[in-house]
């Protein structure tokens, strides 16, 4: 079960900086996680100041 970034994302980039597999990129509105690359480690969720990253 991959993680997803909700609309509460502040687009700060803290999650992308912590992703060990570089699965997070800026999307049209906010950062997005590529579920095909995500290894479900949770590092991104732990760094999100808005708590906008949840398991799908």
Contact 49, 12 (CB under 8 A): yes
Contact 16, 53 (CB under 8 A): no
- Of 7, 5, 1, 27, nearest to 47 by C-alpha is 5
Q: pLDDT higher for 1 or 34? A: 34
Residue ranges per structural domain of the chain: 3-55
Domain range 3-55, CATH class: alpha beta
At 56 the pLDDT is: 84
Site of tokens 């479900």: 40
Confidence of residue 2 (pLDDT cuts 50, 70, 90): confident
Write out pLDDT tens, residues 8-50: 999 999 999 999 999 999 999 999 999 999 999 999 999 999 9
pLDDT beyond 90 at 55: yes
Cα gap 43→28, rounded to integer Å? 23
């Amino acid at each position: 079960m991959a993680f997803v970034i909700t609309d509460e994302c502040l687009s700060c980039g803290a999650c992308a900086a912590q992703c060990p597999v570089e699965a997070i990129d800026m999307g049209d509105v906010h950062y997005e996680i590529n579920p095909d690359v995500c290894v479900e480690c949770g590092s991104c969720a732990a760094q999100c100041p808005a708590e906008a990253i949840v398991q799908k």
